[in-house]
Amino acid sequence: MKRALPTLLLHGVLVAGALLTLAPLLWMVSASFMPDGEANTFPPRLLPSAPTVRHYLDLFLRLDLGRQFANSTLVAVLSTLISLIVNSMAGYAFAKLRFGGRERTFRLLLVALVIPAQVCMLPLFLELKAMGLVNTYAGAIIPFMAGVFGIFMIRQYALSLPDELLDAARVDGAGEFRIYWAIVLPVIRPILVTLAVFVFLSAWNDFMWPLIVLSDEAKYTLPVALAGLSSEHVQDTELMMAGSVVTVLPVVLLFLLLQRAYLRGVMMGSVKG
């Protein structure tokens, strides 16, 4: 019983911390349902007096945010699918296929991890401009298609694949691509899920690159559109909160659904240190 007091204190701190952490998100949801102007009153209201979905209707019917929602979805889904194929092929090959120059090439790739993305943004913009890819979805997807971190993650996981399994398939006459497709991919599925969540979240949440490469409002992703709306509609607190909910909800749901896979990926990131 001597532990009762510390336990109580510990949980007091934990619950307080959890409430503080959730408070901004809960207020965002609550304010998004408030009637016009109610979020700007003193003392602040915590709950809407008469909940309304007007601001959500406004966003989709008047401001056409559905268009940007679709853009974000397209960019994030395509980034995820392409990166899954490209990174898993490379990660598996670096782990399991013996080819000359493998180690040197892999080490060269790791160099990219210390170079911040900003260093390549200006020239990449010029390069894409020359290729006619500025203000296209392809331009927005390009930085996510292949990633050193993704390759690294797949490689770490694929290292534990037993060689006998692969060699047995070779003896049976299976080609290398068939082995990758029919044997390797199903076995490494857990790490594929992790990678998929990672890429989807970073593509969905990214701001700076789509801000640079997309110039046409009809092609904006949600974060870029939202940043634009927020300077036009500073006074419409409730409307902006509804826009924030629409932007945040898909990624929070995805996280809640696949959190085990995602959290494993974060832990794996720390292994490389």
Partner 1 sequence: MKGTVEVRQHRAGWAFVAPALVLIGVFFFVPVLAGLVLSFTDFDIYAVGRPDFARFVGLRNYVQALGNPMFWKALGNTLFFVLVGGPLSVAASLVAALLVSSKLTRFPGLFRSIFFMPVVTTLVAVAIVWRYLYQPQYGLLNWALGGLGIRPVDWLGDSHWAMLAIILLAVWKNFGYNMLIFVAGLQSVPEELYEAAELDGASPWSRFVHVTLPSLGPTFLFVGVMTMLGNFQLFAEPYVMTQGGPLKATTTVVMLMYDEGFRWWRMGMGSAIAFVLFVIMLAGTLLQMRLQREGRS
**For partner 1, which is the closer residue by CB, 61 or 131?**
131
**For partner 1, which is the closer residue by CB, 67 or 248?**
248
Long-range contacts, 169-174 (Cβ 8 Å, 24+): none
Nearest approach, Cβ of residue 51 and partner 1 (Å): 18
Query: What is the C-alpha separation between 152 and 159, in angstroms, rounded?
Result: 11
- Residue appearing with tokens 């969540």: 197
Question: In the structure encoding, which two tokens stand for residue 181, read together?
Answer: 């497709």
Query: What is the C-alpha separation between 205 and 254, in angstroms, rounded?
Result: 13
Nearest approach, Cβ of residue 61 and partner 1 (Å): 20
**For partner 1, which is the closer residue by CB, 99 or 186?**
99
Name the helix (H) or strand (E) containing 131.
none
**For partner 1, which is the closer residue by CB, 13 or 53?**
13
Nearest approach, Cβ of residue 256 and partner 1 (Å): 8
**For partner 1, which is the closer residue by CB, 64 or 127?**
127
Query: What is the C-alpha separation between 199 and 84, in angstroms, rounded?
Result: 9
The alpha carbons of the chain give a radius of gyration, in whole angstroms, of 23
Nearest approach, Cβ of residue 252 and partner 1 (Å): 6
Closest CA to 214 of 126, 140, 118, 122: 140
Nearest approach, Cβ of residue 95 and partner 1 (Å): 11
